Amino acid sequence: MCNIINQHPCFNDAAHFRWGRVHLPVAPKCNLRCNYCSRGINNSTENRPGICKKVLSTKEAIELLQNTLREKLFPIKVVAIAGPGEPLFNHETFEVMKILKEDFPHLIRCIATNGILLADKIELLTSLDVNTITVTICAIDPKIGKWIYDYISIDGKIYSGEEGAAVLIEKQIQGLKAAVTNGISVKVNTVLIPEINTDHIIDVARLCKLIGVEIMNIMPLIPIGRFKNMRRPTKDELTYIRDICSSYIRQFRFCKQCRADACGIPGGKDGILGSTCF
């Protein structure tokens, strides 16, 4: 496991500048409405989560991965599913992971999730040898979470407000514990949203440490979606909160806030999957 972490560009600082990752955009549907998110399919070079040029079928994704490996434009170590929706809410994620396990066992398998289905899917994920999981958690107090999430959908039922945030947070914590218990290396991503969760992030960091999360990635708010009129945190605010949280849990400070079809070395030559040039 240690070897995996050392080679993962989002879990290890040195690896960030050395090894590449490919995001296969096969997961369009989402079961959570975050106020800081805006999913979209577009051809632009806009660099942020929730965006891809095209949602791929399982077959298309594997073909594109094969081509990318063949072209050898950069050294690929990780293949991941990170949207543009919620990976665990889309059956294609599991189809792709099965093929990756069978046909590309040398690659680290990574998934980014909102955590809602993580505990429910943990046996399946373990059987597919998923190595690393990132869970995005912006609050562990429903009184704060209610400002961040519009609604959560579980088995066709919609929960909103403080109740919705409470349901989400409970699921996320269950998911973190299940992943850690099953030997999967876990990173927590937290969006720093000024005036909403800045100081509360310290509580998130403390809990992550207690549960056994490997590393935390505090990312600045990108003002889009329902938060389009809010401000980005300053560099100083970001550094301040990362420094405090680093006394509880190791911090990842190089995040590129990637697209769902990002491809390349995050800390180097980076681009969009399927593009002929980066």
Task: Tell me the three state secondary structure of residue 169.
Answer: helix
Q: Does residue 256 touch ligand CLF according to CB under 6 A?
A: yes
- In terms of CB distance, is 129 or 162 closer to ligand CLF? 129
Among 12, 113, 134, 197, binds ligand CLF (CB under 6 A): 134
- In terms of CB distance, is 38 or 257 closer to ligand CLF? 257
| Piece of 39-47, 74-82, 156-164, 239-247 that binds ligand CLF (CB under 6 A) | 74-82
Footprint of ligand CLF on residues 6-35 (CB under 6 A)? Answer: 10, 21, 23
Q: Which residues pair with 23 in a beta bridge?
A: 80
- Which of 191, 103, 187, 114 lies closest to 147 in space, CA to CA? 191
Strand order in the sheet with 270-272: 215-220, 185-192, 132-136, 108-113, 76-81, 20-23, 262-264, 270-272
Footprint of ligand CLF on residues 155-194 (CB under 6 A)? Answer: 187
- In terms of CB distance, is 153 or 189 closer to ligand CLF? 189
Among 88, 258, 265, 273, binds ligand CLF (CB under 6 A): 258
Give the integer Cα–Cα distance in Å for 138 and 115.
Answer: 12
Q: How many residues bind ligand CLF (CB under 6 A)?
A: 16
Q: Does residue 110 touch ligand CLF according to CB under 6 A?
A: yes
- In terms of CB distance, is 142 or 266 closer to ligand CLF? 266
Q: How far is the CB of 142 from ligand CLF (least distance, A)?
A: 26
Among 24, 27, 73, 80, binds ligand CLF (CB under 6 A): 80
274, with CB counted inside 10 A (0-12, 13-18, 19+), is middle
How are the residues of the chain apportioned to helix, strand and coil, as percentages rounded to the nearest 5? 35, 20, 40
Give the integer Cα–Cα distance in Å for 163 and 186.
Answer: 26
- Which of 207, 199, 210, 209 lies closest to 241 in space, CA to CA? 199
| Piece of 63-71, 118-126, 170-178, 253-261 that binds ligand CLF (CB under 6 A) | 253-261
The single-letter DSSP state of residue 89 is: G
The amino acid at residue 223 is: P
Footprint of ligand CLF on residues 215-234 (CB under 6 A)? Answer: 217
Give the integer Cα–Cα distance in Å for 218 and 231.
Answer: 16
Among 38, 126, 246, 257, binds ligand CLF (CB under 6 A): 257
- Chain contacts with ligand CLF (rule: CB under 6 A): 10, 21, 23, 78, 80, 82, 110, 112, 134, 187, 217, 255-258, 266
